[in-house]
Structure 1
């Protein structure tokens, strides 16, 4: 059952005239190659490397570091020799890997291959409270929960109540360790609970047999289904207990899911605010939030970037961002011009 949008709840829309104008200048521009770069992600897992970020595109993943004066240093670059011209790396995210009896140095990469999805993987996210847990969203209409410490697929979110088309985005709740949200080409956002299956999550950390022998469980029914958008939903992020989601209708939407605990799948949606993004009517243009979820940045098909202050009412446009990646294989860095 779809969540209903209550009558009389009118969202507050932001203005495209920045009220907190900041001057930015391009301080660096790197060309990785001729293939598109599909993802650029800052490291939010280890605070010692807060200025490190990574990119994915073609058959390459590269790790960089933002230094003073606009400098971008290349730390490591990895080439997947198994990826051919018909396969591309779409997404990446920083995680935390525990290994026994392993030798580490600054030049060693310990790899783990997680096999299970039947088609392209569109997004990966790490559980902030347990960074050994990773969730993936796929074209095969499923979401999967993995333990990268043991290589186990713990849960598969799919089936009778699952997505009916490509899953494009997924996110962990920042404080409720049992909850995730996913969205996709079936125009819905679905909220799932792992509480009933948490014993299997705990078991995955101590599993010593082959990963293929782990009793992977299907979670077939979400606890909430919302049709906030009328077209593909290609990105969603939890903002506390609220949800920020984006479709191909030139805007981000902040809304509150109001679930009925006694009636899973039922409830209402309260749309709170809308953040316009002109010329953003093609899918797989994803937005990104800062570490404290105070701002959201999103680009459009004309190469412009909009940064919205999420926690203000009405929404405030605060101009540009620091990092972006493009289809021409370039990375751009902007820095705020210091006021005199």
Structure 2
């Protein structure tokens, strides 16, 4: 049963070969235009017909053969697309949850280490995390335990079976998707005091950062012996039905601060040991923890200014080299910044006469030459930066 007292329902997959202009699952409204940026990228877009906001887009970086594949999530639907060489977008798969009240807020890609299939985890309003095999087009595991909505998912960069989830229930959970167990819960005494909105994992897998509605940003140690022991047991220990897995509660972060933002922190990303974070203050702040000056002290390196972004749940994207940052606003304008630049002004701004709705998230292809954005009006935008 779900937290809302309703039975879990399966997801169905509509293959791309079954989608036509007359199929109600997707209305392929595509066009090619020029943008108002100095590099003149081409701009194809697709408007999905469900009429719901698209909250998340994510490229599949798990293998080179999937470099041009990405997914978008909104309403009770997840659509998998391919970026075509001619600049267009092709629908590969559409997954539709049987629960009409479900709203997917977040998706994340990983790889099946046994079979090599790309796996896609999705979660949102109902709080259940569903992991899909995009080759067999089936759900391989449903992870239940959160007491409310899930706002962000991130897979471990070293161990592809480990998944972290940030929830409205004020916790972050670490899951083993291979065995289906909850390894650890990061919450409690010094945990978040309100909805957890965002998280990111260090490239080494040694720690992760989280942020939320309590205006705080926290760093959690994944190399802690208690966590490492629980991870090891999650692979080895059998799970008899009469004895649940001994999930560990971690109540103390390695670092926490509320000195960066004065409102909800809805997006946070790690660049090595440095942090990028944003709130509703029309800027993305680049900073580093400085505990030598105090337990919650920080050093702000620079601020990237962007206008008309007072809303929350606007998430920025970074390229795989962690050099370019793209963030949208409520007027449909996307600002591109050079993270390494001393300038706080964007390299360029991307706009389009038909793009007037709030941009909820952006993501980059592996090579960084294609950027995808999703919006409140059910539109997926493709920008080729040439």
TM-score by structure 1 length?
0.85
CA RMSD, Structure 1 to Structure 2 (Å): 2.2
Pick which of 292-301 and 210-219 moved more.
Answer: 210-219
For the residues of structure 2 that align with 1:239 and 1:116, how far apart are their CA atoms? 30
Q: 1:217 aligns with which of 248, 260, 266?
A: 248
Query: Which residues in structure 2 correspond to 1:175-194 (within 5 Å)?
Result: 175=204, 177-194=205-222
- Deviating above 3 A after TM superposition, structure 1's stretches of 4 or more consecutive aligned residues are 97-100, 104-108
Residue 154 of structure 1: how far off its partner (Å): 0.5
Query: Which residues in structure 2 correspond to 1:81-92 (within 5 Å)?
Result: 81=98, 83-85=99-101, 87-92=102-107
Closer, same or farther: CA 225–170 of 1 in aligned 2, 3 Å: same
Residue 131 of structure 1: how far off its partner (Å): 1.3
CA contact (8 A) 1:33 1:330 kept: no
Higher strand share: 2
Structure 1 portions without partners, runs of 5+? 1-19
Residue 67 of structure 1: how far off its partner (Å): 1.2
For the residues of structure 1 that align with 2:135 and 2:223, how far apart are their CA atoms? 38
Match of 2:94 in 1: 77
Match of 2:20 in 1: none
Closer, same or farther: CA 53–195 of 1 in aligned 2, 3 Å: same
Pick which of 181-190 and 22-31 moved more.
Answer: 22-31
Match of 1:126 in 2: 155
For the residues of structure 1 that align with 2:107 and 2:214, how far apart are their CA atoms? 23
Structure with higher RCO (Cα < 8 A, 6+ apart): 1
For the residues of structure 1 that align with 2:50 and 2:160, how far apart are their CA atoms? 31
For the residues of structure 2 that align with 1:56 and 1:163, how far apart are their CA atoms? 26
Match of 2:303 in 1: 274
Closer, same or farther: CA 140–91 of 1 in aligned 2, 3 Å: same
Match of 1:95 in 2: 110
Does residue 226 of structure 1 match 2:257?
A: yes
For the residues of structure 2 that align with 1:151 and 1:43, how far apart are their CA atoms? 22
Pick which of 138-147 and 63-72 moved more.
Answer: 63-72
Residue 43 of structure 1: how far off its partner (Å): 1.2
Residue 267 of structure 1: how far off its partner (Å): 4.6
Pick which of 27-36 and 139-148 moved more.
Answer: 27-36
For the residues of structure 2 that align with 1:140 and 1:248, how far apart are their CA atoms? 21
Match of 1:8 in 2: none
Closer, same or farther: CA 328–221 of 1 in aligned 2, 3 Å: same
Match of 2:269 in 1: 237
For the residues of structure 1 that align with 2:58 and 2:45, how far apart are their CA atoms? 17
Query: Which residues in structure 2 correspond to 1:101-120 (within 5 Å)?
Result: 106-120=135-149
Structure 2 portions without partners, runs of 5+? 1-36, 118-132, 351-369
CA contact (8 A) 2:305 2:344 kept: no
What's the secondary structure of 1:48's corresponding residue?
A: helix
